[in-house]
Amino acid sequence: MSKNEQLVAAIDIGTTKIVAIVGKKDGRGGIEILGLCNTPSTGVKRGVVLNIEETVNAINTAVTELEGRTGMGLTDVFVGIAGRHIKSKMNRGYITRESSEIEIGHDDVRRLTDDMYRLPIEVGEEIIHVIPQTYIVDNESGISNPVGMCGRRLEANFHIVIGQIASAKNIERCINKAGMNLKSLILEPLASSAAVLTDEEKEAGVVLVDIGGGTTDVAIYYDSVIRHTAVIPFGGNMVTNDIREGCAILHKHAEDLKIKFGYAIGDIAPENKVVSIPGIAGREPKEISFRNLAYIIQSRMEEILDAVNFEIQNSGFADKLTAGVVITGGGAMLKNLPQLVKYKTAMDVRLGLPNVHLSGKAREEICQPMYATSVGLIMKGIEYLDENKTKLRFAEPKEIERRKTTARHEVVENEESAKEPVVEPAFTQPTVSREPENSEETKSYGKTITDRFRNIWDRLLEATDEELDEN
């Protein structure tokens, strides 16, 4: 591996999984992923770190495995940030230059952008991103790059992303406790957009919907410029919880049901198929209808898509999004979800895979919606390093061995704490039951379940954030 190669490392701290990833430029305008490892995440809720110790342990596990595969020790890393605390706003700024005869340079653009970081914001918040949209030079508007032009007054419209200082500090604390340095925080919807959207879609107008475990991220582009970002504090885990409560089963069984047998549209799900769930502590197995399961999933997904629709309308670009909607993230893998999204948004829909810029041997393995944010973090990291003309540091071999030793000690402690072996019961294969004698009764039952979960949602909307966290 050449010393001149631009290597980038990133950590995707999600609600359901933590991903450690290393990549580089492939020399043909794309990126090559050199290694990727993930581990379950238990210390994060709705995109926010709530248990630093558990999160640090998960990061160490993923990083140690990645270092063992690649032989590279991670030191400087890029990390994604999301959560309900994220918000965005528009702002216009300007600077007055000394002379209109001197060409506008990169320093002028940087000075204008840096001024935006000084905007007054709420106590306890900080500005994460300042993204220029269009520039104005001496009242000449619609300029995408003013460098090289002449003018005295340089203005720009900016998209500003704001988050809570405490949430950002908790992420940095986790990275530091894992023995690494946080190079930069990157908004996850921006990372996912870089990985799955094409330049043509961004120009025509497109909505990216990244459905994760704890949050649903929204990014809206028009005329190749980011116009709106939002983080909705609901995701695939809410669907799993609905299944757990509606079917009165364990959380792990509910998650497997959603992944293996879940449909996003109740009326499309097989009416005469059921799946048998092992009983708890020797109790009789429980049979779950495919269609009733789908009605539960559809009810929650419709609520999430209603929130997405609100963000689309709130952006002011709802009637200009010619390219429609691109869905990605682990939650986008539900059967028939594109059809439901098309019905709810009245736009064309496609599934977004992070294959637009990928190359190399691991391309097929990584080309899954759940890795969109991880791949995007690498792309945004490369962009950051190019703009700042710098490189990342990587650890010495002795640092890699130290992390391996720490991870081995944690594994031993966990094994000693597990006194009794746990045997995971397996699902039985779906069985086809006889056709219901009264199909209308089945539809009515499904409607009852849907109504029940709409009532639950209404109560959740009335609850405070603290009550939601307790639940």
Q: Is residue 370 part of a domain?
A: no
- Residues 140 and 226 placed together within one structural domain of the fold: no
Give 275's strand partners.
288
Indicate which CATH number applies to the domain containing 210.
Answer: 3.30.420.40
- Residues 341 and 471 placed together within one structural domain of the fold: yes
- Residues 218 and 313 placed together within one structural domain of the fold: yes
Q: Taking the CB of residue 283, how many other CB atoms lie within 10 A of it?
A: 8
Of 136, 162, 188, the domain-final residue: 162
- Residues 448 and 324 placed together within one structural domain of the fold: yes
Q: Is residue 328 part of a domain?
A: yes
Long-range contacts of 112-119 (CB under 8 A, 24+ apart): 112/154, 112/156, 113/156, 113/158, 116/91, 116/158, 116/160, 119/91, 119/160
- Residues 229 and 336 placed together within one structural domain of the fold: yes
- Residues 154 and 208 placed together within one structural domain of the fold: no
CB crowding 213-228: b at 16 or more within 10 Å, else e: bbbbbbbbbbeebbbb
Alpha helices in 316-371 (DSSP H): 337-345, 363-366
Q: Is residue 63 part of a domain?
A: no
Q: What's the Cα-to-Cα distance from 378 to each of 132, 158, 224, 468, rounded to whole Å?
A: 21, 24, 20, 33
Of 162, 190, 218, the domain-final residue: 162
Q: Taking the CB of residue 203, how many other CB atoms lie within 10 A of it?
A: 15
Q: Is residue 17 part of a domain?
A: no
Q: Using an 8 Å Cβ cutoff, are 277 and 260 in contact?
A: no
Collapsing DSSP states into helix, strand and coil, what is residue 338?
helix
Both tokens assigned to 394? 């990587």
- Residues 256 and 343 placed together within one structural domain of the fold: yes
Q: What's the Cα-to-Cα distance from 423 to each of 249, 283, 420, rounded to whole Å?
A: 17, 16, 10
What is residue 462's predicted lDDT score, i.e. its pLDDT?
Answer: 54
What is residue 400's predicted lDDT score, i.e. its pLDDT?
Answer: 58
Can you give the residue range of the structural domain that contains 150?
87-162
- Residues 152 and 230 placed together within one structural domain of the fold: no
- Residues 210 and 340 placed together within one structural domain of the fold: yes
Task: Going residue by residue through the chain, which has 471 residues, state the pLDDT in tens, using 9 for 90 and above.
Answer: 445 567 899 999 998 999 999 998 877 777 888 889 999 998 888 888 989 999 999 999 999 999 888 888 889 999 999 888 898 899 999 999 988 889 999 999 999 999 999 999 999 999 999 999 999 999 899 898 999 999 999 999 999 999 999 999 999 999 999 989 999 999 999 999 999 999 999 999 999 999 999 899 999 999 999 999 999 988 999 999 999 999 888 998 999 999 999 999 999 999 889 999 887 777 888 899 999 999 999 999 999 999 999 999 999 999 999 999 999 999 999 999 999 999 999 999 999 998 877 776 666 778 889 999 999 999 999 999 988 888 887 766 556 566 555 544 554 454 454 444 434 444 444 444 444 444 444 444 445 444 554 555 455 445 545 444 544
Interatomic CA distance for residues 125 and 122, integer angstroms:
6
Interatomic CA distance for residues 186 and 297, integer angstroms:
31
Q: Is residue 402 part of a domain?
A: no
- Residues 150 and 244 placed together within one structural domain of the fold: no
Q: Is residue 415 part of a domain?
A: no
- Residues 223 and 143 placed together within one structural domain of the fold: no
Number of domains the chain is built from: 2
What is residue 463's predicted lDDT score, i.e. its pLDDT?
Answer: 53
- Residues 232 and 102 placed together within one structural domain of the fold: no
Q: Is residue 344 part of a domain?
A: yes
Indicate which CATH number applies to the domain containing 109.
Answer: 3.30.1490.110
Q: Taking the CB of residue 304, how many other CB atoms lie within 10 A of it?
A: 22
DSSP code per residue over 277-325: EPPGGGPPPEEEEHHHHHHHHHHHHHHHHHHHHHHHHHHT-GGG-TTEE
DSSP state of 248: T
Give the count of alpha carbons within 13 A of 153, CB side only. Answer: 9
Q: Is residue 389 part of a domain?
A: no
Of 142, 162, 182, the domain-final residue: 162
What is residue 403's predicted lDDT score, i.e. its pLDDT?
Answer: 54
